Structure 1
Amino acid sequence: MRKSLFLLIILCIVSVSSAQSNYRGFINSGYSFGVGEYGFDQWNINTVHGVEFLHNSLFIGGGVGFGVSTENHRLKTYSIPVFADIRYTVGNLKVKPYIEMKVGYSELIDEEHDGGGYNSGGFYFSPSVGVSLPVVRKTSVHIGLGYTYNRAIYEFSYIPGDGKTGSENKTFNAGGLTLSVGVSF
């Protein structure tokens, strides 16, 4: 999975360099409201770069992000997603609606398990819808709403009734409902 994603990102970079007139970059910031038993609230920022096709309606690119949990001030959880991004802009209106999908891998790191136990990220999936508002030529502001699925695996240690130390791996979704704001250039 990691090798495939790496090759996809390299392909996107090569495509950008060969089609600079169709290059498009995005910088987004957002907030995810944790959903589910293990979902946590998280502030995130990401950057995406790629190429536009079909009269600037279809964008294909790759990106990387960084997120930090905001719920527990004593224990921080960080995420580092690497993903492919596809965005389709509907119509040619002044305010342009879009649908977007990010797919990739996200590494999760938390202070509780760092060094003491096993923790790992996993599959990352983030579909969203929103609107794009043009500011000046080739620069727009974007507002979106979506869902972020961020698979994670943690090893939890415990001491059962017999006094021996045990451990258990749990797989869960550390994602949530995401509101984002960004700019493209």
Structure 2
Amino acid sequence: MAYAIMISRRELIGISGSALVSSTLAGCLSDSDTVSADLLQIKAITVRWRHENHSYSDHILRLFSDGESEITGLVATEYGNVVSSPVEVTVSDEFHETLEGEFETVRYAIGVCGDGFSSDADNHGCLNAPTSREDFNSVQFGDQSEVEVADNHNHIDVQDVKRGDVEDWDTDISEFEWSERHAEHGQ
């Protein structure tokens, strides 16, 4: 039985961007290096499910930061409790179990930036990659961190976090109706 994977144009662009950054990093990082991240640029939760012999994937949460004064993004209204505040974007055990019960796959990702993420010593670079739920929870917008880039640049392990202050940052987090967006896809 064949399954079609339906991904959005935005997800394809996001995947392409991650691949480009990962390939750029290949020349500067070994398979497992600890790197200083000056900022967290992305937090995302992606889910995958099957419906009528098709596989679907989408973000229930995708937040971005400029690293200086602003956090923007989208969260599905039905899953909005993952964002209690821009300072605290975490997934509890109970919420994770709910997601695992509703979806075939739940993936957490973060994007980190710093001087150690560029193959050019004069440039600042970034890496967006999957991480564990625990590491997703441990680093927040405004934080600086030490991360280990592993699995051929396809996984980020957070080693240490220095808390930042984002209380005065502007936030623009919009909600969307998950059930409306995916009504034809079994959600």
TM-score, length basis structure 2 = 0.28
More helix by share: 2
More strand by share: 1
**Greater Rg over alpha carbons, structure:** 1
Of structures 1 and 2, the one with the larger relative CO (CA 8 A, separation 6+) is: 2
